[in-house]
Amino acid sequence: MDQIKYPILTEKTISLLEKNQYNFDVNIKSTKTEIKKWIELFFNVQVISINSHKLPRKKKKIGTKTGYAVQYKRMIIKLKPGYSIPLFSSK
């Protein structure tokens, strides 16, 4: 359950929703097969394909010390026609 961090909602990803493609940031160690099984089980949908990529690391400076922000892997999940994932709760 902690593999998927949160959905990505930008202009580009909202336009991809029309093509039945959803974007999520997931744990850096997650694999495509793990995420596919989890999505199909939890949301009761059928996944056609999954594309993934790692975002570039961003430097973070706190005082005199520098480090890196937490890095996630981004997955683009394409569902079969007729299936959808509710991104917002209806409450």
- What pTM was computed for the model? 0.79
Report d(CA 76, CA 85) in Å as an integer: 13
For residue 4, name the pLDDT band (cuts at 50, 70, 90).
Answer: confident
Q: Which domain holds residue 11?
A: 4-79
Number of domains in the chain: 1
CA distances in angstroms from 86 to 22, 26, 56, listed in the order given:
10, 17, 28
Is residue 86 situated within a structural domain?
Answer: no
Residue 10 is part of a domain; what is its CATH number? 3.30.70.330
Is residue 84 situated within a structural domain?
Answer: no
Is residue 55 situated within a structural domain?
Answer: yes
Rg for the chain, CA atoms, rounded: 15
For residue 78, name the pLDDT band (cuts at 50, 70, 90).
Answer: very high
